[in-house]
Amino acid sequence: MKTIGVFDSGLGGLSVLRALLLEMPEARYVYLADGAYTPYGGRSAAQVTERAHRITQCLRQDSAVDALVVACNTATAMAIESLRQEHPDWPIVGVEPALKPAAALSRSGHIGVLATRGTVESERFARLRTRVESESSRPLHFTTQACEGLVDAIEHGDEATTRALCARYLDALRASAKTSAPMDTLVLGCTHYPFAADILQTLSGPAVRLVETGAPVARRTRAVLGLPEANTVVCGTPHITLLSTGDPTPLAQASARWLGTTVGAIHVDF
Ligand code: DGL
């Protein structure tokens, strides 16, 4: 049985773990929330890279995981290349905003992208956007918005603030659009945002399709591990270990709420 390490700055990577569990229900998972350092979005690339390397080392050595999923767009944007350089013999799967799937889905060609400041200002995101635009056979318009505070509001389960920030950032997205084509597709470019998907969908209206990255990342992880497609539904408790460098209680609660697990979370210090 394969063991897969998954990490994020906090609770957001649970949206990726949810997709991994659907794709590979029999695998074992070690999920680490870097609660002591969340959010990553406003931190420097050097800080996030240092945390990503520490976490990767711990998951590889102490938990002997077979592969790593960087379930954080910000950490992927800032650190995945150096992680792969340091661990060339080991599968590392990252998460990036789903611009290509969104381009395939959008009819109008106008796509909104919500993400952290760290992601939208990263070189990796700029390269991804240029690549998707240049590969498209028609003009695409990406309107991006950095969502300060939204990760924190989701981390704290603060629904009123989450709703207010979603409304503010959707307004900002519409106001900064440089095309009159309707925005019909919205990329959730941070793994926390799927947990605000109901709010974002209600505020955006039924004509807008929300796109997240959990399922494609889970398929990619299965492929790099060489595992066959699951053709059975596994009943019973999934094999998950939850670790947090911060307070472990919110992680256990969020996992119970979003994944239906009953496991406790363990505090780890590094
Ligand atoms: N879930 C992380 C992401 O996908 C959140 C980053 C943060 O902590 O700001 O970008």
Spell out the alpha helix ranges (H) of 66-158.
73-86, 99-105, 117-120, 123-135, 150-155
- Could you say which of 72, 147, 166, 235 is catalytic? 72
Task: Kindly indicate the confidence band of residue 231, based on its pLDDT and cuts at 50, 70 and 90.
Answer: low
255, 261 contact by CB (below 8 A): yes
Q: Is 190 a catalytic site residue?
A: yes
Q: What is the DSSP letter of 179?
A: S
Name the pTM for this structure: 0.95
Position 230 pLDDT exceeds 90? no
Atom of ligand 1 nearest to the CA of 119: 10
Q: What proportion of the chain, given as a percentage, has pLDDT over 70?
A: 98
Q: Considering only CA atoms, which of 68, 46, 81 is closest in space to residue 2?
A: 68
Ligand 1 closest atom vs CA 95 = 4
Q: At what angle do helices 14-23 and 248-259 cross, to 10 degrees?
A: 40
Residue 270 pLDDT = 86
Identify the structural domains of the chain with CATH numbers, from first to last: 3-95+215-267 (3.40.50.1860), 99-212 (3.40.50.1860)
93-149 tens-digit pLDDT:
999 999 999 999 999 999 999 999 999 999 999 999 999 999 999 999 999 999 999
Closest by CA to 57, choosing from 86, 77, 78, is 86
Question: Does residue 235 have a pLDDT over 70?
Answer: no
Mean pLDDT of the chain: 95
Do 189 and 173 touch, CB atoms closer than 8 A? Answer: no
Taking the alpha carbons at both ends of the chain, their separation in whole angstroms is 28
Ligand 1 binding pocket (C-beta < 6 A) is 8-10, 12, 38-41, 72-74, 116, 119, 151, 190-192
Q: Tens of pLDDT along 173-201?
A: 999 999 999 999 999 999 999 999 999 99
Q: How confident is the model at residue 232 (pLDDT cuts 50, 70, 90)?
A: low
Q: What integer pLDDT is reported at residue 228 of this predicted model?
A: 87
Measure the CA–CA gap between 108 and 84, rounded to whole angstroms.
Answer: 37
In the reported structure, the alpha carbon of residue 74 is separated from the centroid of ligand 1 by a whole-number distance in angstroms of 5
Q: Which whole-number Å values give the CA distances from 121 to 115, 160, 207, 240, in the listed order?
A: 10, 27, 28, 33
What's the average model confidence in pLDDT over 72-97? 97
